């Protein structure tokens, strides 16, 4: 097959996945507000600092600040001055934030269940291997 046709087919196939509702729901967990909520919910310690969120999740400080501000306005997180160091701010997920996160996780899990049921376990494992191989190749290409 000619190289440009193969590239076009790959772009079209990835485009189909990109615009699926299930994919957009999953992307929410990989960036933005749900990414931060998930991080906060899965930490062993109850609170963390905005700078730790920024560093751990590889988010810029302004993006972290904007995300936390939006989450605070929605009542999904609270911030307070650190008791030991008044210059530091601690961030914690609220019950409302945890409930929102669980609803979103349930929706993603439903879509993933349907997907795996539709293509079967063997094909799902094959797809995972292909994605892992592609990700590894792209990391090598970027020199990471």
d(CA 35, CA 130): 24
Which of 20, 92, 105 is closest to 53 using CA atoms?
92
d(CA 4, CA 94): 50
List the domain range (segments joined by +) for residue 63: 3-142
DSSP 115-127: HHHHH-HHHHHHH
Per-residue pLDDT 10s for the chain (144 aa) are: 688 899 999 999 988 888 887 788 888 878 889 999 999 999 877 789 999 999 999 999 999 999 999 999 999 999 988 778 777 889 999 999 999 999 999 998 998 899 899 999 999 999 999 999 998 988 776 555
pLDDT of residue 76: 97
d(CA 70, CA 128): 34
Identify whether the C-beta of residue 138 lies closer than 8 Å to the C-beta of residue 45: no
pLDDT of residue 99: 97
Indicate which CATH number applies to the domain containing 90.
1.10.10.10
Strand partners, 89: 81
Three-class SS state of 77? strand
77: left (phi over 0), alpha (psi -120 to 50) or beta: beta
d(CA 89, CA 82): 5
Domain tally for the chain?
Answer: 1
Q: Is the pTM of this model over 0.85?
A: no
pLDDT of residue 141: 62
């Amino acid at each position: 097959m000619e190289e440009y046709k193969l590239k076009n087919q790959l772009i079209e196939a990835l485009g189909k996945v990109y615009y699926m509702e299930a994919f957009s729901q999953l992307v929410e967990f990989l960036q933005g507000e749900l990414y931060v909520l998930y991080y906060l919910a899965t930490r062993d310690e109850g609170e963390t600092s905005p700078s730790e969120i920024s560093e751990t999740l590889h988010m810029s400080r302004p993006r972290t600040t904007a995300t936390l501000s939006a989450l605070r306005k929605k009542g999904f997180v609270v911030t307070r001055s650190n008791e030991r160091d008044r210059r530091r701010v601690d961030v914690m997920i609220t019950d409302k934030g945890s409930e929102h996160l669980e609803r979103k996780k349930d929706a993603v899990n439903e879509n993933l269940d349907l997907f795996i049921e539709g293509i079967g376990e063997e094909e799902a494992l094959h797809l995972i291997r292909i994605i892992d191989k592609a990700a590894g190749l792209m990391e090598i290409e970027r020199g990471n």
